[in-house]
Amino acid sequence: MNRINRYAGGLILVFLLLCSTGVSAGSLRGLNWFPFVKKQKAVKLRRIDDREFKRRLDSLLSFEMAKTFCVSTISELEEGPCFTHVSGGIDIKCDWVNEFEYFGTWDKGTVNPYKVDPLKLKTPVMLELCDKKDSTAWVFPIKKGRITSRFGWRRYRYHYGIDMKLRKGDPVRAAFDGIVRIARYNRGGYGYYVLLRHKNGLETIYGHLSKYIVKSGQEVKAGDLIGYGGSTGRSTGNHLHFELRYQGNPINPAEFYDLEKAELISGQYQIDEHTYAYVKEMRKRVYHRIRRGDYLGRIARRYHTTIIKICRLNRIKSTTTLRIGRRLRVR
């Protein structure tokens, strides 16, 4: 009897020990005490005209999607392609709105109707831009262009594209195969501009044109003429303002193109934290527009900073006259 008791006691002890180590290991893991860094898995998107690609796409995209759909009806014709009736009274082939969930948004007036926060990107997304060796799959939008302004801060405004010098009337061409989403005039900004949606997930913008020759809903091939260079809108000389966007958020074109050679760096591009690092940096900055009665001490107090810091950020002296309407960086 005694021996059985001792045997049972031993078993219970072993059981308790096992339980306690299990619990402690679990709680340690829960507290992230283990120095393991979770490796982010790259999501690879396949070539665009692959059927499987279309089927898988929705589940592959890792962004939280904008939920503003404006597609009203989808009509399936017995033969031939399926067409989708989108806002603005145009019918376009279904894949231009159904391919990506966020492409369900069709807006022929707003550059970024998607409202996707780029900093909420959870896992990297690999974009298959095109077959780089195929000379018909992509073109540089203008023949050659000296870069006159790069992507990034320009005084207190962010420049979301690159500016390339051209002569008025120079042809501007579609960077990839695509469909025209916007072709219109914007007085205070882009002037005459065209926005193309591409099947690789990107959208490209061509601004300050003297004229565009395409309309919303029209399909174009890489290299097709879409308009002519100019200086319309907020511009001080003939140049092309060129932007690349993914889900409405701009990406530095220098990430995609070797701007010296005017060619695509690779047929693929991985969107990850590094792509939108500028957004983080941008959101940190705060500006104050100078109003009547403002003085540096008051501005510094209002933003919980110091006069010295404001002077350093704006390269001014504490004695500089504050012009009403000027913007001062305060953070």
Cβ-based nearer residue to Zn ion, 99 or 163: 163
3-state secondary structure of 81: coil
Minimum CB separation of residue 241 from Zn ion in Å reads 3
Phi, psi of 212 (to 5 degrees): -115, 155
Q: Which is nearer to Zn ion, 163 or 177 (CB)?
A: 163
Residues 162-191 that bind Zn ion (CB under 5 A): 163
Residue 210 CB, nearest distance to Zn ion (Å)? 16
Which residues within the stretch 5-34 sit at the binding site for Zn ion (CB under 5 A)? none
What is the Cα–Cα distance from 315 to 308, expressed in whole angstroms? Answer: 10
Q: Which of 124/152 has CB closer to Zn ion?
A: 152
3-class SS shares of the chain: helix, strand, coil, % to 5: 25, 30, 50
To the nearest 10°, report the CA torsion of 168, 152, 196, 66: -150
CA distance 300 to 309: 9
Taking contact as CB under 5 A, which single stretch among the options 93-101, 122-130, 160-168, 256-264 is the one that binds Zn ion?
160-168
Indicate the residue whose CB is closest to Zn ion. 241
Helix (H) or strand (E) holding 14: helix 2-30
**Total residues contacting Zn ion (rule CB under 5 A)?**
2
The DSSP symbol for 290 reads -
Q: How far is the CB of 159 from Zn ion (least distance, A)?
A: 6
Q: Report the nearest approach of Zn ion to the CB of residue 149 (Å).
A: 6
150 vs 309, beta carbon nearer Zn ion:
150
- In angstroms, the CA 41 to CA 57 distance is 16
Q: Tell whether residue 199 is a contact of Zn ion (CB under 5 A).
A: no
Binds Zn ion by CB under 5 A, chosen from 108, 181, 197, 241: 241
**Cβ proximity to Zn ion, 173 vs 241, nearer residue:** 241
Residue 131 near residue 222, CB atoms below 8 Å: no
Smaller CB distance to Zn ion: residue 61 or 164? 164
Give whichever of 157 and 304 is closer to Zn ion, judged by the CB atom: 157
Interface stretch with Zn ion, choices 8-16, 22-30, 72-80, 239-247 (CB under 5 A)? 239-247
CA–chain centroid gap for 248, Å, is: 5
Q: Tell me the window of 45-53, 71-79, 195-203, 238-246 that interacts with Zn ion (CB under 5 A).
A: 238-246
Name the residue among 143, 199, 202 with its Cα closest to residue 173.
143
Residues in CB range of 113: below 8 A, 6 or more apart:
66, 68, 105, 107, 248
Beta strands in 174-234 (DSSP E): 178-186, 191-197, 202-209, 211-212, 219-220, 225-228
Residue closer to Zn ion, measured from CB, 182 or 296: 182
> Where does this chain touch Zn ion (CB under 5 A) — which range of 34-42, 236-244, 251-259, 298-306?
236-244
Q: Where does this chain bind Zn ion (CB under 5 A)?
A: 163, 241
